[in-house]
A and B are shown apart, each in its own frame.
Chain A
């Protein structure tokens, strides 16, 4: 009997916080730094008589995120009431677009196990409101067993986009690449900061296994993954767990499981799945998006990272790897392109940004937005090095001085005592004359022919180079000294 093999079938649901100043159905601030329960109003508290009103910026951000995932904007979408009882849900129902979303039918590409590109279909992105945040006094931070629970309604009504993939993912590696690619693309589109540390991006995974004997295990939904690493580990764990059950002839239960990051395991959700039903939200008319609006938002869409990287490779001859590093973050790529626009050679500019700028940012833990040196200024430096006015080493010294002292190029050059274009001609001859004058015994040794191996000549060259602070060309120095000692 042939050994059984298993193919994981994985779909991912990703919630992203859409980037707006105000909540989805009221004008309360979305500032995550605010004191608990200060960004609240009758609407997001679900007070009797209050009514939601749709924030159109949320719709635009949802459309941008959707377009970034190659989705199509739907001319008509609806909102529903998704009911369940929980203290974090002010109205007892969540307003969500559920199955009639604003954008649908997209895809993102990932690499499969053989390294080939593979499309992961995106079923849709739908808009919905976030629930309040709860803090429980129980040691495990969960509601059961807690003597006291606190609710922060600042989060209630924060705008979310839920992105639902088709079950096209076959491994944890593909899942992580899908999620990272998605994060990069929605960030590019300006739709979400998708900051995992701030809870702006959360993952649920549906995992099932297809067995080579024709059996197909039931779908298990795994929740509570808040990092790429957790997503990867949870899927790995779930694949192993299900495989073991199927190999022993067992049945996979269709259930929701909770990822415990500390223990590295999934366990059945202790909170019973709430009974859910949907009715059309009667307080919100259908969301109609006309072509004009679609055109406006499409025009707001920036070039996506993969397209941009291809352009760097094809038009500017950048190595693929450098192009990908630069385009990982839109702001960094924008910075690089601004350097090019200011006159820097693309390959050189790319090298500078990749090595020097990223080094400083990493050292300082900065984002490109906090980097003080304007791209035009960096471009000026790159051009001077290119033109040979500064050596590469000098250029780096100047760069470091500029960064450290927030100085201009000229000030840095001056402060570092650099002679642009290097020390040559009369200036070099003057230095050589004074060096020889200061070392008559060495000169005597050379002239007497005792310096057979040229060691003394090298010694003089070294002294001269030192005097010029390395700003003379070694070949020139050697020739000039040879001439001077004759």
Chain B
């Protein structure tokens, strides 16, 4: 067994027991990255030419390699949000989430790919080109945190950080076959996270076991005065326990979602998971979320784009990032910088956000959306009076091929229906692994050349993930449930990134 294959918990124990050294672990991960990166292309910026110094040899994460989504600010290290507009900007400060990891001894291997400004669900809207799904490199890893999911799935690092505004952690986690937690809004400081939709954005971890998510959350979930939306009623306890139980817990399916079509492997995973839950003593029930089903997508995009277009107003070429020096005037400078600097998806969302908040339409769209959002939060709060968790898909379909659905943006938006209501209500959502989709016709191995006999991962089938949602601040309980699900459904394997 190679060291890169170790999950976070085992890597920490191995280092502590001196079974191997931090530099051996680093070298193993680096070699793994070197081998797979030509296929996977998860990185925007690598920082692993030499090991970064460990800041806290006694810390929980001492010597553990990790990667960050490239919308998390890192002092002196290029941070791009996968956009041309940031140029070679090197932030003068660290995102609080990274600061906490660094202070716990984590080692940064690099900054990884994403959809530009986190806008997208394929990791294909990046100025640095697409990242490939390590389980099948012809397919998308999901997005926007596709690089973070792919890096953990491919065994680059035992854990990584991403951000989730409408599913950007949970969907790539599901596509890449790893665990991903979108914490309760306010659980993890957003300071230093380049904003997309500020009231929806939340930083969270990817890992290959639920226990590893618990370890990372125990470091991340700290109050930070630098983020006014970061607050906690109580101190969350992410201690891993084996004696947790789902006996008597209510797990609900959403009534309105039951008529929607799912890819067969996902429908199958729902059945299988339901059975596991019942066997564990949970009570399967149903909740009704009519407002969510009908309005969440429209509400989400109205709010996200309204917030996004203001968040992106600061990129004007005056203070940082890409700029021009020969513009005729200040207005022309803004136009040239923004026309060249932003990608087309970002531009379309800026235009949409501008229209949605334009004075004559603002009440009809933006203001209405803020009201619908309140209704959605209330609807969830009522539902969680009747159930402890909600079980639902992450997406209705498995990852598509790179380039396949790029033309139909609206279809991309629709696939977010299962993830984005969670952000609207500020809830925690766990994307968990349920198994590999074997023998599905849509999953025949891609044509990689006959002599390879197909990609072993593809033979294994694509990973299938589902989502468990809890009420606000229930993140520890959600992860405890995840531990039980993992025990029953199995732990994902490291994907081979197209290499035998």
Residues of A within 8 A of B (CB): 42, 45-54, 81, 83, 85-87, 90-93, 143-144, 149, 151, 276-280, 282-285
Beta-carbon contact of A46 and B319 below 8 Å = yes
Minimum C-beta distance from A280 to chain B (A): 7
Minimum C-beta distance from B212 to chain A (A): 26
Q: Is B199 an interface residue (CB 8 A)?
A: yes
Among B101-109, B357-365, B449-457, the stretch in contact with A: B357-365
Among residues of B, the one whose C-beta sits closest to the C-beta of A79 is: B228
Chain B, range 286-338, C-beta contacts under 8 Å to A: 306-307, 310, 312-316, 318-320, 329-331, 334
| Complex CA distance for A93 and B316, rounded to whole angstroms | 12
Q: Is B226 an interface residue (CB 8 A)?
A: yes
By a CB distance below 8 angstroms, the chain A residues around B226 are 51, 53
Minimum C-beta distance from A42 to chain B (A): 5
| Complex CA distance for A35 and B193, rounded to whole angstroms | 30
Beta-carbon contact of B307 and A49 below 8 Å = no
| Complex CA distance for A285 and B191, rounded to whole angstroms | 15
By a CB distance below 8 angstroms, the chain A residues around B73 are 47-49
Given contacts A48-B314, A90-B314, contact A280 B370 (CB under 8 A): yes
Among B91-99, B410-418, B461-469, the stretch in contact with A: B91-99
Beta-carbon contact of B313 and A93 below 8 Å = yes
Beta-carbon contact of A48 and B86 below 8 Å = yes
Q: Is B366 an interface residue (CB 8 A)?
A: yes
Beta-carbon contact of A279 and B357 below 8 Å = yes
Partner of A91 from the list B197, B313, B358, B362 (CB cut-off 8 Å) is B313
| Complex CA distance for A280 and B227, rounded to whole angstroms | 16
Among residues of B, the one whose C-beta sits closest to the C-beta of A272 is: B331
Give the number of residues in B that approach A within 8 Å (Cβ atoms). Answer: 47
Beta-carbon contact of B310 and A83 below 8 Å = yes
Beta-carbon contact of A51 and B227 below 8 Å = yes
Minimum C-beta distance from B372 to chain A (A): 14
6 nearest A-B residue pairs (beta carbon): A92-B313, A282-B199, A282-B198, A49-B192, A48-B194, A49-B73
| Complex CA distance for A149 and B313, rounded to whole angstroms | 20
Minimum C-beta distance from B249 to chain A (A): 32
Beta-carbon contact of A151 and B199 below 8 Å = no
Beta-carbon contact of A277 and B362 below 8 Å = yes
By a CB distance below 8 angstroms, the chain A residues around B71 are 49
Beta-carbon contact of B225 and A53 below 8 Å = yes
Beta-carbon contact of A54 and B91 below 8 Å = no
Beta-carbon contact of B316 and A87 below 8 Å = yes
Q: Is B79 an interface residue (CB 8 A)?
A: yes
Beta-carbon contact of A48 and B91 below 8 Å = yes
| Complex CA distance for A54 and B229, rounded to whole angstroms | 11
Beta-carbon contact of B314 and A46 below 8 Å = yes
| Complex CA distance for A50 and B357, rounded to whole angstroms | 23
By a CB distance below 8 angstroms, the chain A residues around B198 are 282-283
By a CB distance below 8 angstroms, the chain B residues around A91 are 313-314
Given contacts A48-B73, A51-B228, A279-B366, contact A151 B358 (CB under 8 A): no
Given contacts A53-B225, A279-B307, contact A83 B313 (CB under 8 A): yes
Given contacts A49-B73, A49-B195, contact A283 B313 (CB under 8 A): no
Among residues of B, the one whose C-beta sits closest to the C-beta of A145 is: B329
Given contacts A49-B72, A87-B318, A282-B198, 9 further A-B contacts (CB under 8 A): A46-B314, A49-B93, A51-B191, A51-B227, A91-B314, A144-B329, A149-B330, A282-B199, A283-B229
